[in-house]
A and B are shown apart, each in its own frame.
Chain A
Amino acid sequence: MLERWIEALLTLGRHRTRSAVTAATMAWGMFMLVILLGASTGLRNGAEFVFRDDASNSLWIYPSVTTQAHEGTPTGQTIRFDLDDITAIQRAIPEVEYITGRFYPPDELTIVCDGRKAVFPVRATHPDHRHLERTEVTQGRFLNAIDLARRRKVAVIGLEVAAHFFAGREALGQTLMIAGAPYRIVGVFDDIGGENERRMLYVPITTAQLVFAGGRRVDQIMLTVPESRISEGERVEAEVRRVLARRHGFSPSDPGAIRVRSMIEQAAEIRGVIDGIELFTWLVGLGTSLAGVVGVGNITLIGVQERTREFGVRRALGATGAQIVALVVREALTLTVLSGGAGLVLGASVLELLGPNLPANELFRDPRADLESLLVATAVLITAGALAGGAAAARASRLTPAEALRG
């Protein structure tokens, strides 16, 4: 078997210039395909980086001011959410996966611990908040329902906060003073959202409402739906509007009463654009590779025409038509796979070398051709090579040995 492939290689070597030019075309096609695939992966990674911090299947809902009169109520009414809105949404829309409110404490709260002072942002939320912000608890626990029910003064602090106050010491169980009130630390968290997120402190929303005289006020509601499809997000958004409109007496069609930021829609739009770019990339890359394959096909066809008499001799000596086809296909495959493989390896190497050294950019990160794409490209390469060779060889195999010997 190996002998046959070596013979194919030697045959290509007999026409060095012709083989080299064809190989260069093929290699360039594959090189470009891999580079383009890497670029589209870089774009996709960039998009995923943008959404790394937040659940991409989430809706963020803010109260605002009505812009439509409704059942005797004039426009310009300020809407305010409260804890009951969250309960109402949970009851009316069972497919809501996680839901949390956010209560905004005053800005610039001073945090004190063991005589050291610092200003860190404080976020007052429900326990489900950690699913929406992808908060990773590294020690202890996150907020829980009992914390909220008993309005406990507990806090979950970010790694930066822990490092600031407790460098080298255990933070769990320690007490922090937030705006003059003592809070026991029950957890430490990390957040891939970056330094700002790790400078955060989480406290129970009900505790913050009590401490900062917020009553039952909620400044923002965030929820997730199980399927991150636009249609699902739109349906849940309409349901949320209907529930809140009924509770707060505004028109469900009033676009101004509440503001909804749909991460589902944003993520889907970006993914749609990237899918389009990726498809375009494949088309351009395969088109370029196809040019190489056509080149291989042409060269093989010319070779077959030149070698008709040789095939006649081989058939006279006992080769079948199928063996002649196999001979030509092997040569085309050898040329395609070696040159295309070289382009593929070169492209992947360039991505591997350049990718990590490109400047950090939110829109383009870590370009690389993934294994699946490389396997698909290789399969395309092999199939194309076999087809190019097979098409050319079919002509030769149709001749009788006598016809082939006449050349």
Chain B
Amino acid sequence: MIRVRELSKSYRVGNHQLDVLRAVDLEIERGELVSIMGASGSGKSTLLNVLGLLDRFDRGHYELAGREVGRLSERELARTRNETIGFVFQAFHLLAFKTAVENVALPLYYRGVPRRRRQRAALEALESVGLREWANHRPTQLSGGQQQRVALARAVVGRPQMILADEPTGALDSETSERILGLLRTLHAEGMTVIVVTHEIEVANATDRLIKIRDGKIEHEG
């Protein structure tokens, strides 16, 4: 699914160059449930952003689902994000002025799916996370756990091959976190590749494979 070779990325902060990813090598197979763990500033979120095509990298090679990412155009990158990847963010990133069902339907809007089909698929996705009856509520009317479940429904509505979750339980209590992790495990059981970035060992322990990152380098895989 993912093949990364010698991947590097740095930021310029004033006169200093900050190397965030340093020659990272990584392979993740289709259908794996993987966690990437590291301390704050270790580069784990940047790695997730690069893997999710949300950010560019400076050097190296990244092959996603058989395609060399460095060669993709802006339009192809957007299409790949839409069709291949589903995102779950720590801060949920739901659009506050849209209802739950409208938020969930958004990836299908950018895929050009007609309105009725979008609506139907979005309701099914909300059903799968147990929020069918909350479809017409806005995010501000939902609890944190419910918002994250809406975000999860939005991530899966387009049936992507891979879910990238950035600290998906970071803003949730333990009971709600467990429910979210359960949903991620269900998706994995259905054959989806799930990559979770976390700094919580409990979350990492819930995955099949742990990748530890430190100072921009893969420190340990197991």
Identify the A interface with B (CB < 8 A): 3, 10-11, 14, 309-310, 312-321, 323, 400-403, 405
Contacts and interface: CB of A to CB of B under 8 A. Distances in A.
* Pairs A-B, 7 closest by C-beta atoms: A318-B82, A318-B110, A402-B55, A402-B54, A401-B54, A402-B49, A320-B78
Contact of B107 (A14, A317, A401, A402): A317
Given A3-B115, A402-B49, A320 B74 contact: yes
Interface stretch (B87-95, B140-148, B174-182, B192-200): B87-95
B106 interface: yes
Contacts of B49: 402
Given A3-B115, A401-B54, A402-B54, A318 B97 contact: no
A400 B55 contact: yes
B54 A316 contact: yes
Contact of A317 (B55, B75, B82, B115): B82
A319 B56 contact: no
Interface of B: 49, 52-56, 74-75, 78-79, 81-83, 87, 89, 93-95, 97, 106-107, 110-111, 115, 154
B78 A315 contact: yes
A401 B81 CA distance: 11
A314 B56 contact: no
B162 to A, nearest CB: 13
Given A3-B115, A314-B110, A319 B89 contact: no
Given A318-B110, A318-B111, A310 B55 contact: no
B54 A318 contact: no
Interface of A is mostly: helix
Given A314-B110, A318-B110, A405 B93 contact: yes
Nearest to B155: A317
Given A318-B81, A321-B74, 17 more contacts: A312-B93, A314-B106, A314-B110, A315-B81, A316-B81, A317-B81, A317-B82, A318-B78, A318-B107, A319-B110, A320-B75, A323-B78, A400-B55, A402-B49, A402-B55, A403-B55, A405-B93
Nearest to A315: B78
A43 B206 CA distance: 83
Given A318-B107, A402-B55, A313 B95 contact: yes
